[in-house]
Copies of this chain bind each other. A is one copy, B any other.
Amino acid sequence: MKFKIAILGAGNVAWNLAPALEDAGHEITEVYSRDIRKAKEITERLYATDPTDDLDFSESKAQIFILAIKDSAISEVADEVILPEGSILVHTSGAVPLDILGYSSASYTGIFYPLQSFTKGKKMEMDEVPFLLESEDEETLQKLKKLAKSLSPMIYTVRSKDRKAIHVAAVFASNFTNHMIRIAEEIMRRQGLDFEMLKPLIIETISKSLQLGAKKAQTGPAIREDYETLEDHHRFLNYNEELAEIYRLISQDIIDS
């Protein structure tokens, strides 16, 4: 089943999603951005799609409208956009509830959330991206499933409550792991040491964690309850109170769990 799709947004998600949808055989009718030059950056990568900065889509041929914009703008754009009769409006956010689309002119609403970290300029293989889908309308959900399946084998139907849990888990698994690496970078830089020497350890740790599960993969002073080293490290971090407290709290949680 092929769809006609309009993309609203021109950020990291839109940059990756639009060509992937086209490659999967769907037709991208329009790409919208407030800044039309940004919309053009994306339509340039497509066969025959119009860039637009106009939210009046009453004449659009699209059946599905994908809101791929930052969370804080979803509500406003959803309220303003003028959609044709029978259209489906979805957003791509992990954090924003479905009912925020309830005041839009869409006939049906849903969520089409690719659970991945996208970067403009770096093509992501969509068949490795899990898609989390939600709709209160069964027929809409079936259409979203068909659309997602044309991109990836990893399709999950989730409830809003689950999507929140997944988003919180994703913050730990992604943003917070990244911040732990950030802190390690800073500790090395402060001492004039080469961060490169930690990279093999990080790669091995993550690979082991994903293969064995993080509980079995854990090593280090906290899991060994090596209080002498823990105290020594805590003292070392004295120069930054927040850092020392993060060290203490995570170590304690490793000991407790």
Q: Report A161-189 residues with CB < 8 Å from chain B CB.
A: 161-162, 164-188
Q: Once the chains bind, are B194 and A156 in contact (CB under 8 Å)? A: yes
Copies of this chain per assembly: 2
Contacts of A184 in B (CB 8 A): 169-170, 172-173
Q: Which B-chain residue is minimally distant from A93 (CB atoms)?
A: B229
Which residue of B179, B188, B204, B254 contacts A175 across the interface (Cβ within 8 Å)? B254
Name the residue among A162, A167, A191, A197 with the largest chain B CB count within 10 angstroms.
A197
Which residue of B115, B199, B249, B256 contacts A198 across the interface (Cβ within 8 Å)? B115
Q: Is A223's CB within 8 Å of the partner chain B?
A: yes
Contacts of A169 in B (CB 8 A): 183-185, 187-188, 193, 198
Q: Once the chains bind, are B179 and A165 in contact (CB under 8 Å)? A: no
Listed stretches A1-9, A32-40, A59-67, A237-245; interface member: A237-245
Which residue of B172, B190, B217, B246 contacts A183 across the interface (Cβ within 8 Å)? B172
Q: Once the chains bind, are B219 and A175 in contact (CB under 8 Å)? A: yes
Given contacts A156-B194, A178-B209, A204-B117, A187 and B168 within 8 Å (CB-CB): yes
A101 to chain B, nearest CB (A): 17
Contacts of A191 in B (CB 8 A): 161-162, 165-166
Interchain CA distance A232-B223 in the complex, whole Å: 30
Interchain CA distance A243-B249 in the complex, whole Å: 9
Q: Once the chains bind, are A154 and B233 in contact (CB under 8 Å)? A: no
Q: Once the chains bind, are A165 and B198 in contact (CB under 8 Å)? A: no
Q: Once the chains bind, are B257 and A253 in contact (CB under 8 Å)? A: no
Q: Once the chains bind, are A180 and B177 in contact (CB under 8 Å)? A: yes
What would 7 A/B residue contacts be, using CB atoms closer than 8 Å?
A: A168-B247, A169-B187, A171-B247, A173-B180, A179-B214, A182-B214, A246-B253
